[in-house]
Structure 1
Amino acid sequence: MNARALNRALLARQHLLERTSLPAAEMLGHLVGMQAQAPLAPYVGLWTRISGFRPAELASLVSGRDAVRGLLMRGTVHLVLAEDARVLRPLVQRVVAGGYTGHFGRRVGDADLDAVARFGRVLLNERPRTRRQLQDALAARWPEHDAEALSYAVSYLVPTAQVTPRGVWGSTGPATLTTLDGWLGSPLAEGPSLEDVVRRYLRAFGPASVADVQAWSGLTKLREIVEPMGLRTFRAESGEVLYDVEDGVLPDPSTPAPVRFLPEYDNVLLSHADRARILPPGRRVPLPPGNGASRGTLLVDGFYRADWRLHADRLEVTAHDRLTAGERAEILDEGARLLEFLEAGERSVRITGN
């Protein structure tokens, strides 16, 4: 399979070839969660995939604790269904915990991390706390150690959730943590099936190699899990084996792909080791700071070919390569729809760059 065939398969499974009428909860489950470092980014990600999507639908899921934000795949913040959080966090716990061994791990010194995690869990079960509040409480208990490093130890070693109003459309609030099981009101799953999660990944992102599954999850040594699963296989142009579910959609590679505005950190750009199926050679995914819903990337003919950013007076699209007249017209039309969704319709859409 070549890059274009993989691109069209990915777009179809991500509902980026044609918008769907699925409810937001079903889409969130199908995608096995959405990147959510920028807490409002998933709203744009669902708008670009679901016909008639309105922010209140996702906001209701988050406010009602049917969806939750926390550290999951690759040790990064994702928004997932509550039932998926219970399954995914135990599976990736070692990935999340492993993220602490870098900068903050070096600063923690000889502190007893098991004791820190236990005390941190007690603090977060008492009430949700901001990073600063957690840090102050830990400093009082371990004044001889780096309190900031200890606070990060708690958030990596203890499964946590970021509580509302952060992540709710139209609301603001600092990143405030509590225990994941406490927020959900139920314990995390015991012995969850990694094979089931691999199949769900392939249904949304496949066909994919073992390296792709590992890049998405952050887990390693998955070949011994994937190979015995009896999945159908293909060969990439590189010769690498690609695995897939039996009912995985495989559109004709010549299928037209519409312009799609993606939010910051969209899963479709970050969930493979080999990103040639969506990134032109040498192009990196931008990782801007912010709350989301104000900038992102643009797919043109299915590939990442432009960036967008919302300004006070305009929605600016910066193209990375030359666009045809038809592509420019489609960008202007889709950009106007994005402005309507963002309730920023007084602004104009401008295309700069090539």
Structure 2
Amino acid sequence: MGARRPGSPASSEVLGRRALNRATLCRQLLLGRGTTGVVETVEAIGGLNAQHTGDPYLALHSRMAGFTLADLTAAVEDGRLVRACLLRATQHLVSARDFRWLRPILSPLLARVQRNAFGRRTAGVDLTELVADARAILAGRTLSRPELGRRLAQRRPGADPTALAWSAQYLLPLLHPAPSGIWGNRGATPLALAEERLGALEPPDPRRLVSRYLAAFGPATTADLRAWSGVSGLPQVVADMAGELRAFRDESGRQVYDLPDAPRPDPDTPAPVRLLAGFDNLLLAHADRTRIMTDETRRRVCVGDLVRPTVLVDGIVSGTWELDRRAGLVTVAPFTRLSPADTDAVVAEGHRMLRLTAPDAAPHDVRVRPA
């Protein structure tokens, strides 16, 4: 069945919430842990939110069989995975290969963020010259953001060093090389020129963004795609790709798109219990998140700028959890009463998490609070 352009008659086939849930869980490796390498896994699931350096480790642990902390650390240290300001102008961890094509697509978004956040504080500053100066200052070296700001301000007396440094980060393709992104690192965030470490970036190709998003998070609406990426103009890109996509309707009658050969498991496919990291991909990839949690649950999980670590039961967000590494303790707070079987599965996942994050703490304990 071919895709239709927006506004034309859509497929009569409806994908209910459970069908959307299982499709996305499958692509996010949450129906069964994957066995490919760290870099390939990160690419397959659309990168990783990396506001907090520990979150990508926990996210991969829920998606990969046999994952160890050293697996991700090695990939960050040798530059196969890079941490940078990307989707939605937030910190993400992506492969070096993906950064080269993804960052150019996000340039208009990041320029808009710079104007909104620092436009007044950089009024009178020639931003083209600022970018050129930042490139020259960073050539052959790595600097912290405060140090970059101080050096930029030396050439602009009276300017705000913080605003200058952040503006440079938004307007110039930069990376946060190791030790940024390494488990347990709490030091300053270094900045380095992306092209110096990765080579030339690729011309922007929004069609590639659409395809990779659907492969990781589909089926989805164009509003979902915008919510995940922060990029504008994507409905027209999707329309131009009509012959390459398949169209469905969701339960609300909205048109959703997918790659023709992407997996769409039976809605009755069992979904195992999983502990998700804070800011997990699954919770931030759609405008309509009801395929994974109710609006009431969303208000309990997404509080201000915080997205709490969550518990999936039957593929639905059903509680939150906390990790105390020093005490070797995972505490789970379910939103509703769990069955004995689900409680056992939650406890088993908690112990698995502790074996990864607190191997030297003994004994390990997983506590499930009453709902």
TM-score strictly above 0.5: yes
Give the deviation of 1:321 after TM superposition: 2.2
Aligned to 1:44: 58
Answering whether residue 132 of structure 2 is matched by residue 115 of structure 1, we say no
What SS does the corresponding residue of 1:278 show, helix, strand or coil?
A: coil
- The 2-side partners of 1:171 and 1:112 are apart by 35
Q: Aligned with 1:321: secondary structure? A: coil
Name the stretch that deviates more: 169-178 or 319-328. 169-178
Q: How does 1:123-162 map to 2 (within 5 A)?
A: 123-162=137-176
CA RMSD of aligned residues (A): 1.9
- Report the alpha carbon displacement of residue 196 of structure 1 after superposing the two structures with TM: 2.2
TM superposition shift of 1:170:
5.4
Correspondence for 1:272 = 286
* Counterpart AA for 1:41: D
Q: Paired residue for 1:6?
A: 20
Stretches of structure 1 that go unaligned for 5 or more consecutive residues are: none
Partner of 1:200: 212
- TM-score under structure 2 length normalisation: 0.89
Match of 1:179 among 182, 185, 193: 193
Say whether the 8 Å CA contact 1:29–1:81 is kept in structure 2.
yes
Letter paired with 1:37 = Q
Contact 2:22 2:269 (C-alpha < 8 Å) held by counterparts? yes
Q: Which residue in the other structure is 1:24 paired with?
A: 38
Task: Decide whether the 8 Å contact of 1:264 with 1:288 is kept in 2.
Answer: no
Which whole-Å CA distance do the structure 2 matches of 1:262 and 1:10 have between them?
A: 14
**1:288 to partner: Cα distance:** 9.0
Query: Distance between the aligned counterparts of 1:151 and 1:124, measured in 2?
Result: 12
Give the Cα separation in 2 of the matches to 1:287 and 1:262.
16
* Distance in 2, Cα, partners of 1:15 & 1:251: 12
Q: Which moved more, 1:77-86 or 1:221-230?
A: 221-230
**Contact 1:164 1:173 (C-alpha < 8 Å) held by counterparts:** no
The corresponding residue for 2:321 is: 308
Superimposed CA distance per residue, residues 141-172 of structure 1 (whole angstroms, 9 cap, x where no aligned partner) = 11221121111111111111001112123555
How far apart, CA to CA, are the structure 2 residues paired with 1:144 and 1:195?
43
The 8 Å contact of residues 146 and 161 in structure 2, kept in 1 or not, is answered as: no
Taking the aligned partners of 2:184 and 2:284, their CA distance within structure 1 comes to 27
Structure 1 residue matching 2:350: 3-state secondary structure: helix
- Looking at structure 2, the residues matched to 283 and 98 of structure 1 have their Cα atoms a distance apart, in angstroms, of 31
Q: CA deviation at 1:139?
A: 2.1
SS of 1:145's equivalent in the other structure is coil
Residue 81 of structure 1: aligned partner: 95
For residue 126 of structure 1, report the CA deviation from its aligned partner: 4.1
How far apart are 1:72 and its partner, in Å?
1.2
User: Which residue of the partner structure matches residue 245 of structure 1?
Assistant: 259
1:70 and 2:84 matched: yes
Structure 2 unmatched ranges of 5 or more? 1-14
What do residues 303-335 of structure 1 show as CA deviations (whole Å, max 9, x unaligned)? 112111112422111122222222211111111
- CA separation in 2, counterparts of 1:353 and 1:123? 56
Is the contact between residue 14 and residue 268 of structure 1 (CA under 8 Å) also seen in structure 2? yes
User: Do structure 1's residue 335 and structure 2's residue 347 form an aligned pair?
Assistant: no
In the alignment, is the contact (CA less than 8 A) between 1:163 and 1:177 conserved in 2? yes
The structure-2 alpha-carbon separation of the partners of 1:136 and 1:104, relative to structure 1 and needing over 3 Å to count, comes to same
Q: CA deviation at 1:272?
A: 0.8
Cα distance, 1:134 vs structure 2: 1.2
Spell out, residue by residue over 1:261-302, the C-alpha distance to the aligned partner (whole angstroms, 9 max, x if none): 111111111011111111212233447999x9xx72211111
Q: CA deviation at 1:340?
A: 0.5
* Displacement after TM superposition at 1:104 (Å): 2.4
- Corresponding residue number in structure 1 for 2:227: 215
SS of residue matched to 1:102 = helix
Alignment coverage as a number of residue pairs = 349
Q: Distance in 1 between matches of 2:163 and 2:370?
A: 43
Report sequence identity in percent.
Answer: 40
**Is the Cα–Cα contact under 8 Å of residues 175 and 192 in structure 2 kept in the other structure?**
yes
Give the secondary-structure state (helix, strand or coil) at the position aligned to 2:113: helix
